[in-house]
């Protein structure tokens, strides 16, 4: 396995979250929830796990009548996602490599 492959980030829900956050600064919780198709509780759980790992930062803002939750990748999270994405690209490239001719025995 590629040394840069991040088992923690590879979980589908976490991978979807960090991929969504990678090109943006702060994102609203509801936008993230709706974009990845998660429930509030499932997204909260994944964000808590990502925050505990240092990959995301969560900020709560008091609005007029409600609280707004914002989330963003930390520099560490952005770098971890970049390394993981490169590892996935290398794995995919290896899978696309032509098969050796199996008719010839090894010499």
pLDDT in tens, 23-49: 999 999 999 999 999 999 999 999 999
- Per-chain mean pLDDT for the chain: 91
For 4, which DSSP code?
T
Residue spans per domain, the chain: 7-92
Cα–Cα distance, 62 to 7 (Å, whole number): 35
How much is the pLDDT for 107? Answer: 65
How much is the pLDDT for 102? Answer: 65
| CB neighbours of residue 38 within 10 Å | 18
How much is the pLDDT for 103? Answer: 65
Cα–Cα distance, 33 to 41 (Å, whole number): 10
| Nearest Cα to Cα of residue 72 among 48, 55, 56, 88 | 56
Residue 2 has pLDDT above 80, yes or no: no
Q: What predicted TM-score, i.e. pTM, was given to this entire model?
A: 0.84
Cα–Cα distance, 45 to 52 (Å, whole number): 11
How much is the pLDDT for 52? Answer: 97
CATH of domain 7-92: 1.10.10.10
């Amino acid at each position: 396995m590629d040394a840069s492959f991040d088992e923690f980030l590879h979980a589908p829900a976490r991978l979807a979250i960090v991929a969504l956050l990678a090109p943006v600064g702060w994102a609203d919780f509801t936008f993230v929830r709706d974009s990845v198709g998660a429930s509030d509780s499932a997204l909260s759980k994944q964000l808590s796990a990502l925050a505990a790992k240092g990959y995301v930062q969560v900020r709560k803002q008091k609005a007029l009548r409600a609280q707004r939750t914002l989330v963003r990748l930390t520099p560490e999270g952005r770098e971890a996602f970049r390394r993981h994405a490169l590892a996935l690209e290398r794995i995919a490239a290896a899978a696309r490599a032509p098969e050796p001719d199996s008719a010839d025995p090894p010499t």
